[in-house]
A = this chain, B = another copy of it.
Amino acid sequence: MAVLNDLIIDDVTVITMDAERRTMRSATIVVESGAIVYVGPASEVLQAWAGELPAGLAERLERMPRLQGRGRIAIPGLVNAHTHAAMALFRGYADDLMLQEWLTTKIFPIEAKLTPDDVYWGTSLACAEMIKSGTTAFADMYFFMDEAAQAVEKSGIRASLSVGMGSLAQVADGVDGGSGGFGAVLARGTALCEKWHGAAGGRITTMLGPHAPYTCSVPFLSAVGERARQLGVGVHTHVSETFREVDEIRSAHGMSPVGYVESSGLFDAPTLAAHCVAVSDEDISILAQHGVRVAHNPGSNMKLASGVAPVEKMLAAGITVGLGTDGAASNNNLDMIEEMRLAGLLHKTARRDPTAVPAHVCLEMATRGGAACLGLAGSIGSIEVGKRADIVLLDFGAPHLAPVGIADPVSHLVYAASGADVSAVIVDGCVLMDDRKLTTLDEHEIMAEVERRAARLVRAVNAK
């Protein structure tokens, strides 16, 4: 297992996403104890320690393992700001259906058959896929999250985990809203936070996950907000995914979904709101005022025909926007490079403006934006001194990425590359993949387990 906390990357083009959004050519990156301690020209490495050169530093640097950067591009690890990782089990099981039919006849019945071990293996598959396509951190909401946390711990990836919680009886589906009333549900969400927040050397953090306005009562949302503040964790929820949701909440409560959640006080806790497709200008003001972070999911929104989130308006209002894939059952992959491209293309199309959501904004959302969505703006999202070493190397030596010299590397990344161009992935200074070989996970074992379990789940659904 080639995991290391110290390493040097040589002679690499670095898209830093630092405060000045600098791109550096032929740079060196030095990582010590999982943190970035230097980014710049090879000739100036020692100057980083100027005035306080630690004893033995030169020798230590000499001995550090090196990753070859020549011909490669280094970017901050991509952050998937909204997914349901274990749903990778259901990839390709049901597509091209109306949302309600898809949920009620396909997804809910198969989710009802899931075991904790299924979630472990489904999450492991998602982690393998995410690492292989350049994602180093993700925000997850599902159930059997203890097992999901174990999969994350083993994989070496970074994640913010939450139990999807609901308090309204009619929806038990994909949501832990089962027996025992909302106190019991909230207790299960709380237990995850108490057990796992800060675990795996800080790689695992947690949030409380009230599922959505249509599955959670106002008193429940209030209680969740209060509990989040007590625990010192954030909140991960879905808001205004569809226009149908807006119609239903408005006719039941006389408010928009955003207004409904605001009325509960939930937004007083740091909140990550997935989707925000069907939001009005007034909703956007509310989200901005409370510092709510938004996870935009262009691929899932397009595939389910949910609508187009007003991303440019939200960004203009000062809202932090990250990008998410949503679950692999509605995407159908977890490739954040593709998600960046879809964000760029979707908003150009919807706005009829080819300058809308340009490549650098897509990358911004997938890195710094996602980091802030996970409450980790101070520690990940850019390649700069002091941040954790979550770094992705891409190989730009392929026909679909030529020529390189005349091109903006951010354009190549967003408009021409794919997850398969990722060659190495580093989280916390540990190499999780090099030359496309995973170091912490056995992808063949995982695929075999998933194949067997998916077949069993479908048999169980068909037998009932």
Q: Is A305 an interface residue (CB 8 A)?
A: yes
Separation of A99 and B352 alpha carbons in the complex (Å) = 11
Q: Is A356 an interface residue (CB 8 A)?
A: yes
B418 touches A92 (CB 8 A): no
Separation of A20 and B397 alpha carbons in the complex (Å) = 41
B interface footprint on A321-348 (CB within 8 Å = 1, 0 otherwise): 0000000100111110010001011101
B403 touches A354 (CB 8 A): no
A400 touches B335 (CB 8 A): yes
Q: Is A47 an interface residue (CB 8 A)?
A: no
Query: Per a CB cutoff under 8 Å, which of B303, B351, B358, B447 touches A96?
Result: B358
Copies of this protein in the assembly total 2
B447 touches A95 (CB 8 A): no
Q: Which of A378-417 contact B (CB under 8 A)?
A: 397-408, 411-412, 415-416
Q: Name which of A140-148, A197-205, A450-458 contacts chain B.
A: A450-458
- Interface SS of A by simple majority: helix
Q: Is A355 an interface residue (CB 8 A)?
A: yes
Q: Is A376 an interface residue (CB 8 A)?
A: no
Q: Name which of A128-136, A218-226, A259-267 contacts chain B.
A: A128-136
B349 touches A91 (CB 8 A): no
> Within the complex, what minimum Cβ distance (angstroms) separates A419 from chain B?
7
> Within the complex, what minimum Cβ distance (angstroms) separates A457 from chain B?
8
Separation of A418 and B97 alpha carbons in the complex (Å) = 22
Separation of A41 and B168 alpha carbons in the complex (Å) = 53
Give the size range of A's interface with the partner.
35 or more
> Within the complex, what minimum Cβ distance (angstroms) separates A6 from chain B?
28
> Given A95-B359, A96-B355, A415-B303: A403 and B451 within 8 A (CB)?
yes
A333 touches B447 (CB 8 A): no
> Within the complex, what minimum Cβ distance (angstroms) separates A448 from chain B?
9
Q: Which of A402-438 contact B (CB under 8 A)?
A: 402-408, 411-412, 415-416, 418-421
Q: Which of A83-107 contact B (CB under 8 A)?
A: 88-93, 95-99, 102
Q: Is A446 an interface residue (CB 8 A)?
A: yes
Separation of A354 and B332 alpha carbons in the complex (Å) = 14
Separation of A69 and B352 alpha carbons in the complex (Å) = 44
**What chain B residues lie within 8 Å of A349 (beta carbons)?**
301-302, 305, 307-308, 346, 349-350
The 3 tightest CB contacts between A and B, nearest first, are A92-B407, A420-B420, A96-B358
